[in-house]
Chain A
Amino acid sequence: MKTAMTFIGIGALFLIPAVAPAYLVHIATFIAIYTLPVIGLGFLTGFTNRISLAQGAIFGVGAYVTALLTTQYGWSPVAAFLPSIIGAVLVATVLGAPAMRLAGLYFVMATIAIHQIVWIVLMNWIDLTNGPQGVRSIPPLAIGSLKLETPHTYYYAAFGAALVSFFLARRIVSSRLGLQLRALSEDELASAMSGVPVYRAKVVALALSAAWAGAGGFLYAHYMRFVHPEMFTLEPSILFLTMAMFGGYRSLIGMVIATAVLESATEFLRPFGEFRMIVYGLILMLGMMFFPKGVLTLGPVWHRWFGRSRSANA
């Protein structure tokens, strides 16, 4: 039954470009792309309890690696996929591994430093990154002679990647490493005593989160066909963090739903014009004020209210 539902769901998502208007396909493509860095954040935050505000920068590293390889060095986009991931993992582990010993607020502070360092380098290393000019005319993703130039065709690439990354993440979570991570997220000291290589597992979680972000950045660069440092400010980091947080970090499906809801919400806020960002800020602020345990905790609340009204009737 459950498998059948999964297949029906995936099939329905595959049909989106055939039936939905272009604008919805565009949003759906973004949702698929953002799923990757958000799932990545799930590895880090869900299993090591460390909140990162650097995910947007690591996402940017992935986007820049492919942008530069394909435009400056003539690589084909498909060949640049692995280097994007490796670049993101390298930057994240070199800067972030020493910080994995920190916990709580101190780790958040360190990720802000990492984010700013990456961003300032993207902005100022003009010889390499083209600085504030950004990198233009990134070639479209092409498989053989098939060029994925329109949102409709690109949707399949993004959705396919999101799907693969989702199931890969599920495998990792249920693997031995996933068990170690779950153990250390409960109690680092106790799991160290039971033979979990705590520090190594945490660095692996960091590397995994960066790999997912790098892959997301790769997809983003070839969809936008243009990258600019301003795309990778703290704003996407905050967005990814909120998506992972509202989704509950540990629940992959929860994070995917939260990504879809928040991304569509910010799109549907467009009619608010310049008030859009104010509304977005208010959503973050009020969401945290009134649903401190994530929006998915609305479920139990709903249940309680529903239950109460029923018992009142009885």
Chain B
Amino acid sequence: MLAQILIGGIATGCIYAIVGLGFTLVYRSMRMVNFAQGQVFMAGTFLGLVIANRFELPAVPLIIIVGAVAFLIGLIVEKLVFRRLYHNHEVFVVGSIGLGIVLTNAIRIMFPEPVPFPKVFGTGIVTVGGAFFQAAYLWVVGLTVILVVGLHALFSYTKAGRALRAVASDIEMAGAVGVDVRKAIAQTFGLSFAVAAIAGVLIGPLYFVSFDMGDMIGLKAFSAAVFGGINSIPGTILGGVIIGLLENLAGGYISSAYKDLVAFIILLLTLVVRPNGLLGRATPVKV
């Protein structure tokens, strides 16, 4: 029982972590929260669904292609929409919520009913110490680790990644030393779209996919990002896994009805007690 709960919790936590990364990437560069991130994740799942149905690819190429297409879409959406919303955070909040409503309802028209996602990770069952779970869970955890290592490599060893980090730490100085700030911001949105879509492909085969799947997961992933530290990538991963674990423990031992509360109580407590989150830096304005 416990092993089952822990493994399920880590797998869910990985999903929160990856979706949460989308919030973190944008927040680090822009100090803005993209409230459409949950819907971007949902739309990314459907992008994966369409590509997977058309081309019948194995898991790894599918993820790479979906990530690449989502990255391009992110660049375009940044240019068309987000770029005009940078005035202040209220404008960005309401504008991005509007984008989220558009995405949800556009997908709702195309896919009104929940649809099964192709089982790209196979249908095997794995046994570990008396716990049974789908092999897809292992894929989720393994690919999360690979994705995080990949992001770390990108930010540490490539020129483009260093440019993104420079913009994240000080946008004006980055511009002054010759970073193309506009391009870096566009790429940040591209990356946030790509990780959201990859998270969609990871979670798709575990459940049915539907147009409203992004709402709750998006808000929980957001809680995970704030809890771990919304400007810290390792913090977001840690926050996601902890919330996934606590939620599954609460669902298993306390009450399955209230397991959704865990993430939001943690979010509220984090903001009141330690707004920087577990591993975050910088202080918000406190009076």
| In the bound complex, CA of A288 to CA of B87 (Å) | 9
A282 in contact with B98 given A110-B271, A112-B267, A113-B268 (CB within 8 Å)? yes
A120–B215 CA distance with the chains assembled, in angstroms? 14
The contact of B94 among A95, A99, A280, A284, by CB within 8 Å, is A284
Chain B residues within 8 Å of A95, by CB: 268
Shortest distance between the CB of B277 and any CB in chain A (Å): 11
B170 interfacial by beta-carbon distance below 8 Å: no
- A123 to B258 CA separation, bound complex (whole angstroms): 10
Are B98 and A281 in touch, CB under 8 angstroms?
yes
Which residues of A sit under 8 angstroms from B95, Cβ to Cβ? 284-285, 288-289
Cβ distance A176 to chain B, nearest Cβ, rounded Å: 21
- How big is chain A's contact interface, by range? 35 or more
**Contact between A105 and B32, CB atoms less than 8 A apart:** yes
Cross-chain contact of B102 among A121, A188, A282 (Cβ < 8 A): A282
Contact yes or no, A281 B88, CB < 8 A? no
Is the pair A274, B268 in contact by a Cβ cutoff of 8 Å?
no
Contact between B258 and A124, CB atoms less than 8 A apart? yes
Residues of A within 8 A of B32 (CB): 105
Selecting from B42-50, B51-59, B113-121, B219-227, the interface stretch reads B219-227
A283 touches B98 (CB 8 A): yes
* Interface pair A103/B33, CB less than 8 Å apart: no
Q: How far is the CA of A285 from the CA of B32 in the complex (A)?
A: 16
Would you call A68 an interface residue if the criterion is a C-beta within 8 Å of the partner chain's C-beta atoms? Answer: no
Q: Specify which of B91, B108, B263 is in contact with A288 (CB 8 Å cutoff).
A: B91
Alpha-carbon separation in the docked complex, A299 to B105 (Å): 32
Contact (Cβ within 8 A) A281 B284: no
A21 interface residue, CB < 8 Å from B?
A: no
Known interface pairs A109-B267, A113-B268, A114-B268; A277-B105 also in contact (CB < 8 Å): yes
Cβ of A102 under 8 Å from chain B: yes
* Residue among B88, B90, B223 having the largest count of chain A Cβ atoms under 10 Å: B90
Interface majority SS (helix, strand, loop, mixed), chain A:
helix
**CA of A284 to CA of B267 in the docked complex: distance in angstroms?**
26
Q: Say if the beta carbon of A208 comes within 8 Å of chain B.
A: no
Contacting pair B81 A289 (CB below 8 A): yes
A162 sits at the interface (CB 8 A): no
| Chain A 238-250: CB-based contact to B (< 8 A → 1; otherwise 0) | 1001100100000
Known contacts A113-B271, A117-B268; A238/B89 CB under 8 A: no
Q: Is there contact, CB below 8 Å, between B94 and A281?
A: no
Are B285 and A112 in touch, CB under 8 angstroms?
A: no
B281 interface residue per 8 A CB criterion:
no
Q: In angstroms, how far is the closest chain B Cβ from the Cβ of A121? A: 8
Note all chain B residues with C-beta closer than 8 A to A293. 87
Contacts of A242 in B (CB 8 A): 94
B107-140 vs A: 1/0 string, CB under 8 Å? 0110000000000000000000000000000000
Q: By the criterion CB–CB under 8 Å, are B88 and A285 in contact?
A: no
Chain B residues with Cβ under 8 A from A113's Cβ?
223, 264-265, 267-268, 271
Contact in complex: B271, A285 (CB < 8 Å): no
A234-B38 Cα distance, complex, nearest whole Å? 13
CB distance from A233 to the nearest CB of B (A): 8
Are A278 and B105 within 8 A (Cβ)?
yes
For A126, list chain B residues within 8 Å (CB): 257
Residues of chain A with a CB closer than 8 A to B285's CB: 103-104, 106
Q: Which of B89, B93, B102, B219 contacts A281 (CB 8 A)?
A: B102
Residue of A nearest to B284 (CB): A106
Complex partner residue of B109 from A53, A275, A284, CB under 8 angstroms: A275
CB pair A99–B271 under 8 Å, yes or no, is yes
Say which residue of A192, A282, A284 sits within 8 Å of B97 (CB atoms).
A284
Q: Across the interface, do B284 and A238 meet the contact criterion of CB distance under 8 Å? A: no
Report A-chain residues with C-beta under 8 Å of the C-beta of B265.
113, 117
Answer yes or no: A101 CB below 8 A from chain B CBs: yes
* Bound: A282/B101 CA distance, A: 8
Give the residues in chain B near A284, CB-CB below 8 Å: 94-95, 97-98, 101
> B93 contacts A108, CB within 8 Å?
yes
Given contacts A113-B223, A120-B261, A281-B99, contact A245 B90 (CB under 8 A): yes
Q: Which of A86-124 contact B (CB under 8 A)?
A: 95, 98-99, 101-106, 108-110, 112-114, 116-117, 120-121, 124
Given contacts A113-B264, A189-B287, A283-B98, 13 further A-B contacts (CB under 8 A): A102-B286, A108-B93, A112-B222, A113-B271, A116-B260, A198-B287, A238-B94, A277-B101, A277-B104, A286-B98, A288-B85, A289-B95, A292-B88
- 7 A-B pairs with least C-beta separation: A284-B98, A281-B101, A285-B98, A288-B95, A281-B102, A113-B268, A289-B84
B-side interface residues toward A, CB under 8 Å? 31-33, 81, 84-85, 87-95, 97-106, 108-109, 215, 219, 222-223, 226, 257-258, 260-261, 263-265, 267-268, 271-272, 275, 284-287
In the complex, 30 of the A-B residue pairs with CB atoms within 8 angstroms, ordered by the A residue number, are A51-B90, A99-B268, A99-B272, A101-B286, A105-B32, A105-B89, A108-B33, A108-B93, A110-B272, A113-B223, A116-B261, A120-B261, A120-B264, A238-B94, A274-B108, A275-B105, A275-B109, A277-B101, A277-B104, A278-B102, A278-B109, A281-B99, A282-B102, A285-B81, A285-B95, A285-B98, A286-B98, A288-B85, A288-B98, A289-B85
What is A's interface to B at a CB cutoff of 8 Å?
51, 53, 95, 98-99, 101-106, 108-110, 112-114, 116-117, 120-121, 124, 126, 188-189, 192, 198, 234, 238, 241-242, 245, 274-275, 277-278, 280-290, 292-293
